[in-house]
């Protein structure tokens, strides 16, 4: 496992640290050789004040396109909300070549490689955490996080040296981290959560607006 001091903000394309995820990546590459099939790099403003942290790339989303939340249902809600709240400009076309630009924010994932059934193991989450820590350290203007789901929430806490019990996950809950940045959490903008009514568009927009305000944007 790479140490936080050694990790770059982005995982290498051939990252070897999680055998199960490597095997899944290789199987996807064999089945779909034109896809990205690698650790999805973060996307957004290099001077971001707000870091949006998701769970992991979806197989047919970022694993296919190479851009977080691009090509699957969750991206429709996420990027639509960013555009509505003036945190992005351009047009989202579910294509990394669509010219969309984020303003004051960046999107990353707690786990950079697509996991089978969208379910990374605790060991895989831990193995990828140094990349999250390095990503955070590389953003000097960072003032707020929006964690999408409980795993992202816990990953941000652990990246700051805290235990998950330091702040209970809840939709729109806010917690001030030791760095002084504010962690705002939201239910993940997945198709399952929206179809079941656990997360509505107004609920998601409200959480995003809260994180935007915490970032001073």
Sign of CA dihedral 124, 19, 107, 117: negative
Sign of CA dihedral 93, 97, 103, 105: positive
| pLDDT tens by residue, 109-138 | 999 999 999 999 999 999 999 999 999 999
Residue 2's pLDDT band (cuts 50, 70, 90):
low
C-alpha span between 184 and 7 (Å, rounded): 25
**Strand partners for 147:** 53, 185
| pLDDT tens by residue, 38-94 | 999 999 999 999 999 999 999 999 999 999 999 999 999 999 999 999 999 999 999
pLDDT at 3: 54
CA angle (9, 207, 205) in 5-degree steps:
105
Residue 159 pLDDT exceeds 90? yes
Q: What is the pTM of this model?
A: 0.97
Residue 152 pLDDT exceeds 80? yes
User: For the chain, which residues make up each domain, given as ranges?
Assistant: 19-214
Fold of 19-214: Uracil-DNA Glycosylase, subunit E (3.40.470)
Alpha-carbon distance values, 161 to 128, 130, 169 (Å): 15, 12, 17
């Amino acid at each position: 496992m790479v140490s936080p001091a050694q990790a770059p903000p982005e995982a290498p394309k051939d990252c070897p640290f999680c055998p199960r995820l490597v095997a899944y990546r290789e199987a996807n590459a064999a089945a779909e050789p034109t896809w990205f099939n690698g650790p999805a790099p973060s996307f957004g403003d290099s001077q971001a004040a707000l870091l949006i942290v998701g769970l992991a790339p979806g197989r047919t989303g970022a694993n296919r396109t190479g851009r977080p939340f691009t090509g699957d249902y969750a991206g429709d809600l996420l990027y639509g909300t960013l555009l509505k709240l003036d945190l992005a400009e351009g047009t989202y076309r579910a294509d990394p070549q669509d010219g969309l630009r984020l303003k004051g924010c960046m999107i990353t994932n707690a786990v950079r490689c697509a996991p089978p059934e969208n379910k990374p193991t605790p060991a895989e989450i831990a193995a990828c955490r140094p990349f999250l820590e390095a990503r955070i350290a590389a953003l000097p203007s960072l003032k707020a996080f929006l964690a999408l789901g409980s795993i992202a929430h816990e990953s941000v806490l652990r990246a700051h040296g805290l235990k998950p019990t330091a702040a209970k996950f809840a939709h729109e809950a806010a917690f001030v981290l030791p760095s002084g940045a504010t962690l705002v959490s939201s239910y993940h903008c997945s198709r399952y959560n929206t179809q079941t009514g656990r997360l509505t568009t107004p609920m998601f927009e409200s959480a995003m607006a809260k994180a935007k305000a915490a970032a001073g944007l």
